[in-house]
Chain A
Amino acid sequence: KAGVTQTPRYLIKTRGQQVTLSCSPISGHRSVSWYQQTPGQGLQFLFEYFSETQRNKGNFPGRFSGRQFSNSRSEMNVSTLELGDSALYLCASSPDSRVEKLFFGSGTQLSVL
Chain B
Amino acid sequence: QQQVKQSPQSLIVQKGGISIINCAYENTAFDYFPWYQQFPGKGPALLIAIRPDVSEKKEGRFTISFNKSAKQFSLHIMDSQPGDSATYFCAASWGADGLTFGKGTHLIIQP
Interface size class of A (residues with CB under 8 A): 20 to 34
A87 CB–B CB distance under 8 Å: no
Total A-B pairs, Cβ < 8 A: 52
Interface size on B, residues (CB 8 A): 22
A64 CB–B CB distance under 8 Å: no
B41 CB–A CB distance under 8 Å: yes
Asked whether, in the complex, the Cβ of B49 is within 8 Å of the Cβ of A42, the reply is no
Closest 7 CB pairs of A and B: A104-B43, A45-B98, A43-B101, A42-B103, A99-B93, A104-B44, A106-B43
| Sample (11) of A-B pairs whose CB atoms are under 8 Å apart | A42-B101, A43-B89, A44-B101, A47-B98, A92-B43, A97-B96, A99-B32, A99-B98, A104-B45, A106-B41, A106-B42
A-side interface residues toward B, CB under 8 Å?
A: 4, 33, 35, 42-45, 47-48, 55-56, 58, 90, 92, 97, 99-100, 102-107
